[in-house]
Amino acid sequence: MAGRFIVGVMGGGEGASAEDCQAAYRLGALIAREGWVLLGGGRPWGVMEASARGAREQGGLTVGILPGRTRADACDCIDIPIVTNMGDGRNYINVLSSDVVVALPGQAGTISEIALAIKNGKMVILLNFDVGSVFDLYRRQGLLTSADTPEDVVALIRTWQEA
């Protein structure tokens, strides 16, 4: 693998719960402490902002894949804003640029990122996100797993890296 290890963090934007944002913040901080790069949606709300803020406050590098035409849409804790003008099409960039994807509770956009990641052979870790049985085949194949805490996510990634 060339370059630094990139962890994609996906999840709810507007309307994300305080609990999910706290978990995203802690996850971002842990990602930074590991020396990994945090990649997310880059906008100033929900899981996107909380995870990037957690990473940035720990000295980590943050990348935001933006749906619109301008950097002005990025939250202030994004170091590298990538402007795509692709709307939801940016979800491909999110998952293909990530070495592993972590999904916190979200809606259709997050579900699409999970599906795209799995279709492209990326490991996906669900953090407190129950997606039902729709992805059970991928659980059995080892591409999808679940975690209860941000610390569990980091442990799973470390185990995966060592395999």
Average pLDDT over residues 138-147: 96
pLDDT band at 162 (very low <50, low <70, confident <90, very high): confident
Give the residue with greater pLDDT, 132 vs 2. Answer: 132
Residue 2 has pLDDT above 80, yes or no: no
Give residue limits of the domains in the chain: 6-108+119-162
pLDDT tens-digit profile of 82-120? 999 999 999 999 999 999 999 999 999 999 999 999 999
Question: Which of 126, 104, 128, 108 lies closest to 40, judged by CA?
Answer: 104
User: Cβ atoms within 10 A of the Cβ of 29, count?
Assistant: 21
- CA 161 to mean position of chain CA atoms: 17
Average pLDDT over all residues of the chain: 96
Residue 34 has pLDDT above 80, yes or no: yes
Q: Where are the alpha helices (DSSP H) in 13-149?
A: 18-33, 46-57, 90-96, 108-119, 136-140
pTM of the entire predicted model? 0.96
pLDDT tens-digit profile of 46-61? 999 999 999 999 999 9
Instruction: Give the whole-angstrom CA distance, residue 78 versus residue 28.
Output: 12
**Which pLDDT score, from 0 to 100, does residue 3 have?**
81
Phi-psi region of 69 (alpha: psi -120 to 50; beta: other; left: phi over 0): alpha
Cα angle for residues 47, 154, 71 (degrees, 5° grid): 35
**Which pLDDT score, from 0 to 100, does residue 55 have?**
98
**Which pLDDT score, from 0 to 100, does residue 14 have?**
86
Residue 21 has pLDDT above 70, yes or no: yes
6-108+119-162 fold: Rossmann fold (3.40.50)
Cα angle for residues 101, 51, 117 (degrees, 5° grid): 15
**Which pLDDT score, from 0 to 100, does residue 1 have?**
60
